[in-house]
Amino acid sequence: MFRWSVLLLALVMSVPALWSAFVVESMSPTTAGVRFLVAVPVAALMVAALRAVTAPPQPAPAGAAGRGPVAR
């Protein structure tokens, strides 16, 4: 299941195509639907990248070699 933020971002990304299809009628609804379906995984990658960048750092596992100060 996708996050609501992914679906909202995909909707925002595909609004011009949806507008052209359903209001202006200069594009077929099938093309607009395909553009929305393509926008969903692109939006998922964008949200995942944003979450990875803004996530708090993970603590190092205990006893990890090469990390932290060396006790002598």
Task: Please state, in angstroms and rounded to a whole number, the distance separating the CA atoms of residues 42 and 11.
Answer: 11
Does the pLDDT value for residue 14 go beyond 90? yes
Q: Between the CA of residue 11 and those of 8, 29, 53, what are the distances in Å?
A: 5, 14, 23
Task: Please state, in angstroms and rounded to a whole number, the distance separating the CA atoms of residues 6 and 19.
Answer: 20
Prediction pTM value: 0.74
pLDDT on residue 62: 72
Does the pLDDT value for residue 12 go beyond 70? yes
The whole-number average pLDDT for the span 20-27 is 96
Task: Please state, in angstroms and rounded to a whole number, the distance separating the CA atoms of residues 65 and 33.
Answer: 51
Read out DSSP for 22-58? III--S-HHHHHHHHHHHHHHHHHHHHHHHHHHSPPP
Residues of the chain with pLDDT > 70: what percent? 83
Query: Across the chain, what does the average pLDDT equal?
Result: 88
pLDDT on residue 66: 59
